[in-house]
Amino acid sequence: MTIRPDPTFHASPRLAMEAPAETLAYTLMLSPDGSQPDGLAVVDVDPKSSDCGKIVHQVIMPHKGDEFHHFGWNACSSALSPLSGHAFLERRYLIIPGIRSSRIYVIDVKGGPKAAKIHKIIEPEEIFSKTGYSRPHTVHCGPEGIYISTLGGGGPDGTDGPPGMFLMDCETFEVIGRYEMDRGVQDKQYDFWWNLPRNYMVSSEWGLPPQYENGIVPEDLLANKYGHRLHFWDLRERRNIQTVDLGANHQMALEVRPAHDPVKEYGFCGVVVDTTNLEGSIWTWWRNKDGTFEARKTATIPAEPADPADLPDLLKGFSAVPPLVTDIDLSLDDRFLYVACWGTGELRQYDVTDPMAPKLAGSVHVGGIVRREPHPSGQVFAGGPQMLEISRDGRRVYWTNSLYSTWDDQFYPAGVPAAMVKADVGENGGITLDPNFFVDFPKGYRSHQIRLEGGDCSTDSFCYPSVR
């Protein structure tokens, strides 16, 4: 415990943008066939370093078959909340769930890039017995502890009751218990985030374990059985106050990104695919003066025609490549929204100064099911842009290329070897791939979520407004 707030905690998004640039990135490595343990790669991203773009340290886990996916910090800027008793925590530990094993690793990264090590392992039995949930997914640090969403309920196949969220102690890392007091109609789970001063949370939906663990289930997709709703919660009372249905054809409402400035009561959600036309879409949700919520489709990304001979079996009958919007991320100034089109191999940048009218401001291609665009370095980039992370100052966007092991195999049957790349952002928008930044990973691994040293654009929740 420190005797003053961690200097990487910031009261407002504007102050966070003025902090020193990141020099390290932490990237998850997963073994898709379970033949190796999963791991954490520490990547040097300091342009002044001779090791920039290289893995300088790895933490390899003692178990196989975890399937690392998403992860997060033990503490962040939310610790500065006036409701918090934890202002003197450190952003020191990374909380890494195994989405397939339901095991959670706590990694201590204090002491420099080569000092990262396992601090604690929470076995799945503790999660099952204290929460009744399985398949832990998204990790966010809140003022009073660590919140973790899950994709499975109880039982061997994760369908004994709905998935939900649970809390962990941010100092002892003990599992405390379920979050929900009243879940209402919520029966699927994926992402979640909040506006702390306004006391509400939003969560989204993917599918239940039988719908994703062995790959996408085409029959369920065409029958619109994946998630398509947003749930809004009273954060402190822990109850669902409203559910907004985006329409059954808008399958897989995944990442939710509220505006970072807590004065603003809106945010964005990415929808993977519309089953009527294969397009992807961005939705803007907002809060009305009477406290109710609404959501509207504000941007669409069409499918691209393709020769069936170039398509995986799953898509041959459609003669088209869907964009497959699998991740979105919002810059700290709430100006640019980045959209990963994993199917078409495109990263899109939207100017969302007007959140109800996103304007395309930049685009780059790398990978893609049909396009297979190589990286400007000449390296092959399999898969497509997937997990995104934006630097605090908004000048750099990093991403990896794996979605989920079994889905990778369906959409990219030739394989998705791990890769991590970076784009630079222009002063007034526009993005350019950095030809000199391409991270090589150990053979047999795939890469997923990225966290940046000192926080990033999908890590911190801010409790105070930005002052310009």
Across the range 252-278, mean pLDDT stands at 98
Q: Please list the residues that pair with 146 across neighbouring strands.
A: 141, 168
Rounded Cα distance, 393 and 15, in Å: 10
Average pLDDT, the chain: 96
Which has the higher per-residue pLDDT, 192 or 1? 192
Phi, psi of 296 (to 5 degrees): -140, 140
Per the listing, tokens 């190589």 go with: 374
Environment class of 289 (CB within 10 Å of its CB; exposed 0-12, middle 13-18, buried 19+)? exposed
At residue 52, what is the residue type? Answer: C
Confidence of residue 86 (pLDDT cuts 50, 70, 90): confident
Q: What's the sign of the alpha-carbon dihedral 242, 153, 188, 159?
A: negative
Phi-psi category of 97—alpha, beta or left, where left has phi over 0 and alpha has psi -120 to 50? beta
Instruction: Count Cβ neighbours within 10 Å for each residue of 268-287 and write b for 16 or more, e otherwise.
Output: bbbbbbbbeebbbbbbbbbb
Greatest Cα-to-Cα distance within the chain, rounded to the nearest angstrom: 63
Q: What's the sign of the alpha-carbon dihedral 366, 367, 372, 374?
A: positive
pLDDT digits (tens, 9 = 90+) for 387-418: 999 999 999 999 999 999 999 999 999 999 99
| pLDDT for 88 | 79
Confidence check: pLDDT of 85 > 80: no
Across the range 66-95, mean pLDDT stands at 91
- Give the DSSP H or E segment for 131: helix 124-131
DSSP assignment string, 402-468:
---HHHHHHH-TT----EEEEEEE-BTB-EEEEEEEEEE--TT-EEEEEEETT--TTT----S----
Confidence check: pLDDT of 1 > 70: no
Phi, psi of 221 (to 5 degrees): -65, -50
Residue 78, SS3? Answer: helix
| pLDDT for 246 | 98
Confidence of residue 379 (pLDDT cuts 50, 70, 90): very high
DSSP assignment string, 196-246:
TTTTEEEE-B---HHHHTTS--HHHHHTT-S--EEEEEETTTTEEEEEEE-
**Global model pTM greater than 0.85:** yes
Confidence check: pLDDT of 2 > 60: no
| pLDDT for 84 | 73
Across the range 362-372, mean pLDDT stands at 98
Other CB atoms within 10 Å distance of the CB of residue 60: 14
pLDDT digits (tens, 9 = 90+) for 198-240: 999 999 999 999 999 999 999 999 999 999 999 999 999 999 9
At residue 421, what is the residue type? Answer: V
Across the range 22-40, mean pLDDT stands at 98
| pLDDT for 43 | 98
Across the range 51-76, mean pLDDT stands at 98
- Give the DSSP H or E segment for 117: strand 117-122
* Torsion angle, alpha carbons of 62, 66, 67, 71, to 10: -80
At residue 304, what is the residue type? Answer: E
Per the listing, tokens 């992807």 go with: 280
* Rounded percentage of the chain residues whose pLDDT exceeds 90: 96
DSSP 21: P
Asked whether the beta carbons of 81 and 143 are under 8 A apart, the reply is: yes
Residue 43, token pair as written in the block: 């990547």
pLDDT digits (tens, 9 = 90+) for 97-114: 999 999 999 999 999 999
Residue 445, token pair as written in the block: 């691994």
Confidence of residue 144 (pLDDT cuts 50, 70, 90): confident
Confidence of residue 3 (pLDDT cuts 50, 70, 90): low
Which has the higher per-residue pLDDT, 83 or 305? 305
CB-based contacts of 7, cutoff 8 Å, min separation 6: none
CB-based contacts of 84, cutoff 8 Å, min separation 6: 78, 143, 144
Across the range 138-151, mean pLDDT stands at 96
Confidence check: pLDDT of 299 > 90: yes
Asked whether the beta carbons of 288 and 242 are under 8 A apart, the reply is: no
Q: In what order do the strands lie in the sheet with 280-287?
A: 250-258, 266-274, 280-287, 293-301
Rounded Cα distance, 348 and 153, in Å: 35
Three-point CA angle 2, 55, 76, nearest 5°: 30
Confidence check: pLDDT of 468 > 90: no
**How many residues are recorded in the chain?**
468
DSSP assignment string, 277-319:
T--EEEEEEEE-TTS-EEEEEEEEE--EE--GGGS-GGGGGGT
Residue 329, token pair as written in the block: 């991320």
Across the range 378-390, mean pLDDT stands at 97
Other CB atoms within 10 Å distance of the CB of residue 247: 15
